[in-house]
Structure 1
Amino acid sequence: MCRWLAYSGSPILLEELLYRPEHSLIDQSRHSRLGAETTNGDGFGVGWYGTDGGSPALFRGIGPAWGDENLRELAGAVASPLFLAHIRASTGTAVQQSNCHPFRYGNWLWLHNGLIRGFAAMKRELTLAVDPGLYPHIGGSTDSEVMFHLALTFGLVEQPVCAVERMVSFVEETAREHGVQRPLQMTLGVADGTRLWAFRYSSEGNSRSLYVSTDAAALRALYPENERLQRIADGTRIVVSEPLGELVGAWQPIPESSYGLVEPGNAMLGDFKP
């Protein structure tokens, strides 16, 4: 499967999370500890917003993230207050740029760790349920991108959580019609330029790992001698497939069948009930 992270806070260089931590996302591309595979080398991507929000920029590649010099250069030069990054381990679809996450539509970004079991058998029905106006925007062949466009079809822009719940329900209903058991495994990162959502859900109730960073003020109080933590602004949150380091108390697991929302001045957890 895959590994990903999402950041929301004061602007930082992408390299602060992609490269510098002890167990950075680039380290995870070769040495994942909690993923289904140790190596995630089937492409990568990062999407980031400017300080004024708006449409995000994308940089994606089909090679392993650990060896891409352009990614290294970009990460050291680009600062953003909101960005999503992904390293891919294909579940069967081609290694090509259009299959690399994040996926973008307007000012929305979407990335996914997991799969739809039996996707090949259901692909036609799932894809035909996408709004005809959105269908031309599907550029690749992954289940993840179809999930994104189904969520858009079901109202992602107006009601993000309800739209993802409807998407999951539709996938699971279609799977039942095809005799596919436990069809969906997912952690999702979704952003619109100001807000960040994270979802953790699976049909079997045993989802892939997902963590959120502890409240910045609480961390500063816990480690007053840590200069790096003292520089973290209030409201900063990082969502990760697996922790970026071993600092005790720095990472909290996102509960099974739940979602998190991070927006300026607010962070919350809620139940996710398709």
Structure 2
Amino acid sequence: MCRWLMYHGKSIIMSELLVDPENSLIHQSIASHEGVVNVNGDGFGLGWYTKLNKKPGVYKDPLPAWNNKNLASIASHIKSKNFLAHVRASTGTPSTTTNCHPFRYKNHLFMHNGAIFNFNEIRHDLEYLIDKKYFKHRYGCTDTEAMFLLALTNGLIEDPKTAINKTVEQIFKIQQQNNVPQAIKASIAYTDGNTSYAIKTSTINHQPSLYYVNYEDMLDSLGMERQGQKYKNSYVVLSEPLLKSESYKYVDNHTIIKISENEFTIEKL
């Protein structure tokens, strides 16, 4: 499956997470430690917010992240207080730009690691539930994008927790109606640029892996200089740690994390 990370806090240069660490996200694209597969080479995507524009910038490519010099260059020149990054291991859909995460709707970004099991068997019924004002933004063919648009239909913008719960319930119901196992595996990142959410929900034990870490603690574990900055309210949520350290906290199944400027909460989904 895929690997991803989300940062929310004081502005940092994105390469500090995507490129520099020993087990950076780019490194995870070729040699992940905790994914179902080691290689996540079916494309990548990056979404970020700056003060210049409420609508996030997005950069995607269907080629592997480990061999893209443009990604490393861009990441070392953009400073952002909130960004999402994703390296993809396809579950069967084509490696195209439109299928790369994160997915964008206006000022909202969404990405996912995992799978809706037997998606092709239920795709028609699931997509039928998506409101037409959101369905016109269905550019690719992944289960993630379908989940995003269905969650928007269910009120993701107003109440992410309720919307994701309702979306998962609908998926289970459709799977049951089509006589396929009621199964889903998901770690989800969603943000509007002001508030970010990470959600883990799965019928497969504790998969997929997901962690969070205070950025200040992460800097200490990496031996990186803070340059006088305080990052007490800055956090990273990610598929796997950037190096071995006790600073990273494992996220249990059926959990939702909420991060805003001065708030970090974690509760059961």
Band the TM-score falls in, shorter-chain normalisation: over 0.9
* Correspondence list, 1:70-85, <5 A: 70-85=70-85
Distance 1:118 1:227, change over 3 A: closer
For structure 1, list consecutive stretches of 5 or more residues without a partner in the other structure: none
Q: Which residue of 1 aligns with 2:138?
A: 138
Distance 1:26 1:144 in 2: 21
Q: Which residue of 2 aligns with 1:194?
A: 194
Task: Check conservation: 1:11, 1:51, Cα contact below 8 A.
Answer: no
Deviation of 1:232 after TM superposition, in Å, equals 4.9
State the Cα deviation string for residues 114-139 of structure 1 (Å, max 9, x = none): 01111101000100100011111010
Identical amino acids, percent of aligned pairs: 35
Deviation of 1:181 after TM superposition, in Å, equals 1.5
Amino acid at match of 1:40: N
Q: Which runs of 4+ in 1 moved over 2 A?
A: 203-207, 222-232
Task: Check conservation: 1:182, 1:204, Cα contact below 8 A.
Answer: no
TM-score (norm 2): 0.95
Secondary structure in 2 matching 1:141: coil
Distance 2:222 2:189 in 1: 32
Q: How many residues align?
A: 268
Q: Which of 218, 221, 235 is the matching residue for 1:237?
A: 235
Would you say 1:110 and 2:110 are equivalent positions? yes
State the Cα deviation string for residues 2-48 of structure 1 (Å, max 9, x = none): 00000011111111100001110011011100000000000000000
Q: Which residue of 1 aligns with 2:247?
A: 250
Amino acid at match of 1:123: R
Distance 1:128 1:227 in 2: 49
Deviation of 1:226 after TM superposition, in Å, equals 4.5
Distance 2:31 2:243 in 1: 13
Task: Check conservation: 2:215, 2:236, Cα contact below 8 A.
Answer: no
CA RMSD of aligned residues (A): 1.9
Deviation of 1:101 after TM superposition, in Å, equals 0.1
Distance 1:115 1:223, change over 3 A: closer
Distance 2:45 2:34 in 1: 20
Q: Which residue of 2 aligns with 1:261?
A: 258
Q: Which residue of 2 aligns with 1:32?
A: 32
Would you say 1:160 and 2:160 are equivalent positions? yes
Distance 2:72 2:214 in 1: 27
Task: Check conservation: 1:4, 1:241, Cα contact below 8 A.
Answer: yes
Task: Check conservation: 1:45, 1:61, Cα contact below 8 A.
Answer: yes
Deviation of 1:234 after TM superposition, in Å, equals 1.6
State the Cα deviation string for residues 49-78 of structure 1 (Å, max 9, x = none): 013661111000010001111111111111
Task: Check conservation: 1:53, 1:193, Cα contact below 8 A.
Answer: no
